[in-house]
A and B are shown apart, each in its own frame.
Chain A
Amino acid sequence: MEGTVEALALRKLRKSFSSSVAVDGMDLTLSRGEFVSLLGPSGCGKSTVLRMIAGLLQPDSGEVLIEGKNVTALAVHKRNIGFVFQSYALFPHLSVFENVAFGLRRRRLAEADVQSRVTNVLETVRLHGLGDRRPSQLSGGQQQRVALARAVVTQPSLLLLDEPLSNLDALLREEMRLELKRLQHQLGITTLFVTHDQAEALAMSDRIAVVNGGRLEQIGTPEEIYAEPATQFVARFIGRSNFLTGHIEGDSGCRAVVRCAKDVRVVIEKRSAHVLTPGSVVRIAIRQERVQLTRAFVADTDNCFPVTVALRAYGGSVQHYILRLQSGAEIGAEVRAAEPALRPGDVAYAGWTARDGRILSGEGWSREG
């Protein structure tokens, strides 16, 4: 049956180096025009995946399909993709203009064509007039934009970016984030973006694929990934969460009670219909910003526990608290700084709704993320 051809499809991609498996049977599909991030810690295999898509690395097994065509055996220079390297890889002996024109010249376009396309794209990335400079004469941010221009000027069907913003300072990085997103939207190129920075991924992506140890942990929209992490690794990697271990005390169908300590019975809203066996050990996650701090006990809340303030760190728009439960376990809370600050030693109550907690899938939490 004829469906829309996927812009990119990875089928059971596998790659191992001498002693370790870098990519472990990865499946992924991208629709045309999508911006998808491959998010994960260093060494999780995401750059390896990117290089296999580009053809710079050969997979041990599996297939890469671009626009429905199996390119796994196709040579690098025939794949018509754009690639932005972490180091930018600008040719030092060529001017900015010639750098950007490089791909067009390989396609033997007419000189006038080359001129106009290069000039246009340089304007698009706001590097107008810098065509004659050498890469070494440009700032980091400018070099980054040349690399981008060079990658998109050939109008590839796929754009791959390997942590392109990691060499920029924090302020520039945030600026470039939005610019990149705007450019991608403007050009409508299917984009795969590799990063270890969750804020980047959350801000820019249509979908995020969280990768760990060569495997896909979860794939979904930024909202889904953030609000509904499927595994402990994802919960840990994105946002700040509290993790508590306990055993099931009761399962009332839509809610479960998890006893974490003598006085800590956490009520959790279940996400799946799966019946939990009383007594089985589970791990739960609660986002730190969902923890409410009050001076007094609030009745009618699902969860409210007495705590002592152990530490407070000021974060500009928020206050970070480390709170100690009566059992001795510590949890973190992120509270808007507008509210009056508590001091270490103060007694307070930490509470959250049943919906704010999540039981992590059993398989997920047995593997440390």
Chain B
Amino acid sequence: MATKTKSKPAGKKGDTLQGVSPETAMMLMKEMLLYRRFEEKAEEAYAIGKIGGFCHLHIGQEAAAAGSIKPLRTDDYVISAYREHTQAIAKGIKPNAIMAELFGRADGCSGGKGGSMHLFDTSVGFMGGHGIVGAQVPLASGMAWTAHYNETDQVVICYMGDAAVNQGAFHEAMNMSAVWNLPAIYVVENNGYGMGTAFSRVSRTEIHEKSSAYGIPVSIINGQDVLETYNTFSDLIAKVRKGAGPQFVDLRTYRFKGHSMSDPVSGTYRSKEEVDGKVEQEDPIRSLKQAMMDAGKLTQDQLDEMDAEARKVAQDAFDFADASPLPDDVMLYTDVYADINPNGRLFFDGRERPGFAR
């Protein structure tokens, strides 16, 4: 039941690129450049100690974010794991607020209390940022349940890495989504490795086979091709919005950097040659550039201008984050509970909690 999405041949001069309008293609290029420059800036900030903890970069996988999220509406939900910076930008969180969150500052989108792995902004439907592999999958089903319960036409996209399909949470959520026909698209960003373990070493079946037990249709998409990704997701989202029920996507992509900032790019689990080859041949930005230039829809000047703008936004985000204050000490104690019950003790650390809001 796998339906391989066939790319229309690129490179022909015409009004569209694989059915995508030149304006949209330009927007996708702009987005991907921003993601790339933002992540490079985060990498730089991490190296000089501005960002702590874990930091998982999305470099190489930009098309997966832009192509799938851009066709969504603001009131649709996106939920992800912890390699989610660029998805958060794509869904509409301001780069400044994301960088400030990475820096652990008060102006961060989670007030500095979440960090790289827990970016949230409910006003644009970005629902995190979750740190336990696979745990976001049933949460996504619950968000889709709400849409179904309230009879809205909202759609939920849930991202996970390929390793998540070996978690029970994934299988339980897939089954329930199918049983209740929930409006969710489950997307495996299949970069071939769960941290340092090649997927082929931990599964006898392929990613695209994983939804067949639940009767959920699968699409295999070249996630390095933003036009194909955008096209296919536009169709999938429209279908789900009309009640087609859950969908599964094997979005084939490649991570150009290490698992996290503290991990090597290559060496122990994948060769330098493999990574270099992918970077050389499957960079989604370079591929789009080629397609657009071949079609006469992009000039080098335009590209340079967009890239300069992306670099500026990334630098501005860095400067904004760096200037943002640390969260006030009192924030340590806020938002543990929504209701501080008037009776009884809720906290047992023996500390004073002077006048915090909630």
Report whether chain A binds chain B.
no
Residues of A whose CB lies within 8 Å of any CB of B are none
Residues of B whose CB lies within 8 Å of any CB of A are none
